[in-house]
A and B are shown apart, each in its own frame.
Chain A
Amino acid sequence: MLRFAVAGLAANKVRSALTMLGVLIGVASVILLLAVGNGSSVAVKDSITSLGTNALTVSSSASRGSVTAAKKLTVEDAKALATATDTPSVKSVAPVVTTSGTALYGNISYQPGQIVGTYPAYFETSNLKVGKGDYFSADDVLNSRKVAVLGSTTATELFATEDPVGKKITIGGTPFTVVGVLKTKGSTGFNDPDDVVIAPLPTVQNAFTGFGSVNQILVQASSAEATTEAQSDITRILMGTHAIKDATKVDFRISNQTSLLSARESTDRTFTVLLGAVAAISLLVGGIGITNIMLVTVAERTREIGIRKALGAPRAVILGQFLAESTLLSVIGAGLGVLVGIAGSHFPVVGIKPVVIPESVLGAFGIAVAIGLFFGSYPANRAAALRPIDALRHE
């Protein structure tokens, strides 16, 4: 039967090839588009882990509906969070001030993306690893030492190939000793996380921002699961320090990196589903192509069907023959589509590196074969149902 099917397809090579092309494009686009969608969400997942999943950022906000200006976050707020004894969910607290300025080394001048003043806990919470030298210590913070840790981009800009550790740089007139260089983290979005200078909080406050408010308080939850609990603990403590009774009128905002990114991830999922739907439609069109071609084939071979029936071919044999042909079309088309899809996913598409989902390969192949059977069954049934006398009269 398979031999008959192959011979039937070979009788019309161009037509069979074009039909297969329809299925091929359908299967390849399902695999490829889903891989692109998946690749984009894999990239997001990677950036979640690189951002530090347990990090919570507390920032000041103007409370809506309140006439009074929002109370700024202060180092005292951070200390209240750090010293609270009944909050096992909070692992560490780092107040953060950010500013900008120009760094000088010798005659090289460079403006880093951000100058950050904070506590040593910041490094762990933000998932920053030191590559050369060391982090600054709590002792450096207590004594307001003029030390700094550079991001890799900043280090390269200022020192090129030189080893920055131990060198002195000047930022806004204040000399800093470089104690460490961070490992390259890689860009996760619009800003380069490696383009920073990180120094002890009081040093930065002293030199730039003054000892008023802080921009953010970075809190590390004890685990990824504890972030929700930590969030409510922070809210409770800060409502105390800010003397707010109404939970709807808080003047600060707690954002969770994970929740931000999972929002992006769900956007990605929608994107993937849409891509998949478009691809599925092209697969469907490929299937309709099979129906069309098989109908033409049946019409063309009506007489042959009549002969076979006159010779005593049972209905099932005719049905099987045409089904085998349409399934063979879709199997070969789908097989080639899988190859093209996998080959195509080795090339980045609009900046996204596609990551093939193994299920999509099996799924697309399976659906294509099922489509061959389904869309082939109508013409095959028509062939099998032909009355031999009508089929024989057909010219």
Chain B
Amino acid sequence: MRAAKPPVIQIRRVTKSYGHGDAVVHALRGPMTGGGEPLGVDLDVAEGDYVAVMGSSGSGKSTLMNILGCLDVPTSGRYLLDGTDVGHLDEGQLSLVRNRKIGFVFQSFNLVPRTTALAQVELPLAYAGVRAAERRRRATAALGLVGLADRAGHKPNQLSGGQQQRVAVARALVTAPAMLLADEPTGNLDSHSTEEVLGIIDGLNARGRTVVVITHEDEVALHAKRVIRLVDGAIVSDVRQAPVDGPPPALAAAAGVVA
């Protein structure tokens, strides 16, 4: 039944290059033709999947993340997000897409300074034009989901790193986006906070949210149902660790231990 649905992400022959002429650098190129022309990257991500994109720095994973997040536009190729071709959208429409379809979680948390946790989570809703009362209700619920209902009035400098990242997760999911896009979400966290944040993301995926995590940590990749490795702007391996329909492997393992 789920297989009948179109994938959340459909990338076709996408390349991204910087510079011109001899100085051109292909950050994202995919396999090369015999003549050395990049063919571009193809990638489909199904609804409910949990994908980890891995690679060392310079492998093009950040570029891929920026393109997936509609923060950057590909040099060539097509990108369909939730059925919409985002290649032809203007700046205003792109901000609408980011607002409605994508929830971002960044390595450096990227909370708005001097703003309470509740207001942070309300921000995307405010940009979406949701009314104040509804905004408050949904933001409170999202904070509850990440276990920070009691920290609603705290500002970023009053929260620990793990708590800040959980606020960021709440902010990412409050608009019920088509995809949660996390860029090294645990890169700045200690192991305890890492487990906390990954646990929350696992829980979200278990409830059907599509998740794409960019990471270079194997422990993080273990949580994903599917692991994609990038080297020099091309996908070199694509391993499925768990079925799209099932729970994420970490939760499944935990359930197995309990059972």
- Contact surface of A with B, Cβ cutoff 8 Å: 7, 11, 303-304, 306-315, 317, 387-389, 392
A309 nearest CB neighbor, chain B only: B95
Inter-chain contacts of A306 with B (CB < 8 A)? 110
Task: Determine which of B66, B96, B98, B112 lies in contact with A304 in the assembled complex, contact meaning CB atoms within 8 Å.
Answer: B112
Establish whether residues A307 and B71, one from each chain, have CB atoms under 8 Å apart when the complex forms.
no
| Known contacts A304-B112, A315-B95, A392-B106, A310 near B69 by CB under 8 Å | yes
Give a binary string over B103-139; 1 marks a CB under 8 Å from any A CB, 0 the rest.
Answer: 0101000111111000000011001100000000000
Q: Give 17 A-B pairs besides A7-B115, A311-B104, A314-B95 with Cβ atoms closer than 8 angstroms.
A: A11-B114, A303-B110, A306-B110, A309-B95, A311-B127, A312-B95, A312-B96, A312-B100, A313-B99, A313-B127, A314-B96, A315-B91, A315-B95, A388-B71, A392-B71, A392-B106, A392-B110
Establish whether residues B92 and A314, one from each chain, have CB atoms under 8 Å apart when the complex forms.
yes
Establish whether residues A308 and B123, one from each chain, have CB atoms under 8 Å apart when the complex forms.
yes
Give, as a whole number of angstroms, the nearest-CB distance from B185 to chain A. Answer: 14
Chain A's interface: helix, strand, loop or mixed, by majority?
A: helix
| Known contacts A7-B114, A11-B114, A307-B112, A312 near B72 by CB under 8 Å | no
B115 nearest CB neighbor, chain A only: A7
How many residues from B make CB contacts under 8 Å with A?
26
Inter-chain contacts of B128 with A (CB < 8 A)? 312
CA distance A303 to B72 in the complex (A): 16
Establish whether residues B112 and A312, one from each chain, have CB atoms under 8 Å apart when the complex forms.
no
CA distance A389 to B72 in the complex (A): 7
Q: Counting CB contacts under 8 A, is B171 at the interface?
A: yes
Inter-chain contacts of A7 with B (CB < 8 A)? 114-115
Establish whether residues A311 and B171, one from each chain, have CB atoms under 8 Å apart when the complex forms.
yes
B181 nearest CB neighbor, chain A only: A310
Establish whether residues B113 and A311, one from each chain, have CB atoms under 8 Å apart when the complex forms.
no
| Known contacts A388-B71, A389-B72, A392-B71, A313 near B110 by CB under 8 Å | no
Q: A-B contact count, CB below 8 Å?
A: 60
Interface core residue of B69, B71, B99, B124 (most chain A CB under 10 Å): B71
CA distance A312 to B128 in the complex (A): 8
Inter-chain contacts of A307 with B (CB < 8 A)? 110-112
Give, as a whole number of angstroms, the nearest-CB distance from B195 to chain A. Answer: 25
Give, as a whole number of angstroms, the nearest-CB distance from A380 to chain B. Answer: 16
CA distance A299 to B25 in the complex (A): 28
B92 nearest CB neighbor, chain A only: A314
Inter-chain contacts of B110 with A (CB < 8 A)? 303, 306-307, 310, 392
CA distance A323 to B66 in the complex (A): 29
CA distance A314 to B128 in the complex (A): 9
Establish whether residues B114 and A312, one from each chain, have CB atoms under 8 Å apart when the complex forms.
no
Inter-chain contacts of A387 with B (CB < 8 A)? 71-72
B98 nearest CB neighbor, chain A only: A312
Inter-chain contacts of B69 with A (CB < 8 A)? 310
Establish whether residues B104 and A389, one from each chain, have CB atoms under 8 Å apart when the complex forms.
no
Give, as a whole number of angstroms, the nearest-CB distance from A273 to chain B. Answer: 46
Give, as a whole number of angstroms, the nearest-CB distance from A12 to chain B. Answer: 11
Establish whether residues B123 and A311, one from each chain, have CB atoms under 8 Å apart when the complex forms.
yes
Inter-chain contacts of A315 with B (CB < 8 A)? 91-92, 95
Give, as a whole number of angstroms, the nearest-CB distance from B78 to chain A. Answer: 20
27 pairs of residues in contact across A and B, judged by CB atoms under 8 Å: A7-B115, A11-B113, A304-B112, A307-B110, A307-B111, A309-B95, A310-B71, A310-B98, A310-B104, A310-B110, A311-B98, A311-B99, A311-B104, A311-B124, A312-B95, A312-B96, A312-B97, A312-B98, A312-B99, A312-B128, A314-B92, A314-B95, A315-B92, A315-B95, A317-B127, A387-B72, A389-B72
Give, as a whole number of angstroms, the nearest-CB distance from B133 to chain A. Answer: 17
CA distance A315 to B91 in the complex (A): 8
Inter-chain contacts of A304 with B (CB < 8 A)? 112-113
Give, as a whole number of angstroms, the nearest-CB distance from A207 to chain B. Answer: 90
CA distance A252 to B57 in the complex (A): 100
List 10 tightest A-B contacts by C-beta distance, closest first: A312-B99, A389-B71, A312-B98, A311-B124, A307-B110, A312-B127, A389-B72, A313-B127, A388-B71, A312-B95
